[in-house]
Chains A and B, each alone.
Chain A
Amino acid sequence: MGFVIKDMCILKKNLRVFVFVTIGVMVLGVLFVLSARYGNVADMLEEMQDEPLAQEFVLVGAVWMVLILPLAFLSIVVECFKQDTAAGFLKVRRSLPVSCVEVVGARYITTILLAAIGLTGSLFAGFMVSLASDFYSYPVICQFAVGMCSVIFLYNMAIFPFYYYFEDKKPDTILVMPLLAVYFCCMYYMIFGDGAENDTFLWRIMEKVSQWLTKYTFLLTILAVAGGGISFATSYLIEKKKGGKKNERAVL
C-alpha cells in the first residue's frame, strides 16, 4: 500500500494534467459527433449549412477519441520505473522491510488503478458521444472501450518484466519493443495482406481493429487478467532471483 501511495504521488502531476485531457476528450468527442451529424460545427454555429461527414469517418474517429483515455492513463505507469531509477530509490527500497511481493505487487496495483481510472473516463466520454450520436449504441462503445483497455493493459503487462529485468538500462527501448511488433504486423498487412490493394489501408486497419475489439471483448478481458497474472509472476521471480544480483551496480 505504501508503494502504491508513492507511485500515485510520483504520477500526481501527470494525473492532474489528465483531468483536463479527459474533459478535453469528452468535449472533442461530442463536437466530433455533432460535426459528423450536422457538418462543420463552426458553420453550424454561424447558421450556415454544411454536409455531414461520412459515417465511416465517425466510425473510426469518434470512438477512437474515446479510447485515448485508457491509453493515456496506462502509458504513464512506466514513468514510475523511470522516476525510481532517477531518484536512486532502488537502494532505499532494498533497505526497507518490504517483501518482493509487496514491491512488485504495488506497481501492478498502481497499473490496475490507472486502468480503472482511464476506463471510467473513457466510458463516461463514450456515454456523452452515444448521447450525441445514433450511429453507435452505448453498449457497443463500452465493448470497444473495454476491449481497447484490455489490449493496452496487456501491452503494459508485456513490458513490465523487462523493466524488472533491466531496471535502469534503456527504459525507452523496452517501451518501443512491443510497438515495433505492432508496426511490423501493420507492414505485413500492408505488403502481403488486404492492405496491399487498398488505398485507405490505415482506415481499414482501424475499422478492422474496431470490429475485432467489439467482437472479442470478453476474450481480451480474460487475456488481460491472465496476462496480468503471468506478468506479475515473471516480474516477481526476476525481482527476487535475478534483479538483486544484476542491479548491484545500479545501487552503488
Chain B
Amino acid sequence: MAASETTTARPGVSVGPTSEFSLFFHVKPGHGDDLREALRTLQNHPGYRPGEYGMAVATIHEARFVLFDDDTRLLFATSFDGPWDSYMEDFFTSGPTLALFDAVFQHVEGYEGLPDVAAVKAFVLSAQATAAAYARNYGGTVKEIRKAERVNKAFQRVLDDPAAGEGLQHPALKPLLDEASD
C-alpha cells in the first residue's frame, strides 16, 4: 500500500463536474499471475469487452487497471462524475462494484480481513494519490455525453434525409443548420 501517501481522504482534482481518482496498490507476493488472470476475466465481462460501453457504474467515464513494476504494483485510475469521497460507502455497499473490486482486491496487500465498510473505505483511501496534473477535453457528465451522442445520432439521421436542407430553413432551426454543413 502506498503508506507514505496517506491515510486521510483527499478529494482528488476536479474539472467541471468530473473528478479524477487514482489508486496505487502493492500486489501480494506471488499473486501477479492470478491478478493478471482476474483482470483478463474482467476485460471479458459485459461492459468491459472491447467495443462495449456499459460499465456497471454508469457515472465513470473510463476505468483502467495497470500492472507495473513486474506485476508487483497495481494502478486503478478512473474519472468520476461528482466528488468520489461522497460516494465511497455507496460503492462498497452496492452489488456490481463490490463484486468487481473484490475479485481484484483479493490479490493486493491490506484488503483481507477488513471488518466493515469503514475499514474498506480507509483501505481504499490509503491507496489514493491525487493527480499532480489533470485536464479534460470535454465538460459533460457521462449522462450528458450519452444524451449528446443520442442527439447527434438523431441529427445525422435527419441530415441523411434528402428533405433535411429544406426542413432546416426555419429560423428557429438556424443553430442546427449551422452544424449541418459538414
Does A associate with B in a complex?
A: no
Chain B residues near A (Cβ < 8 Å): none
Chain A residues near B (Cβ < 8 Å): none
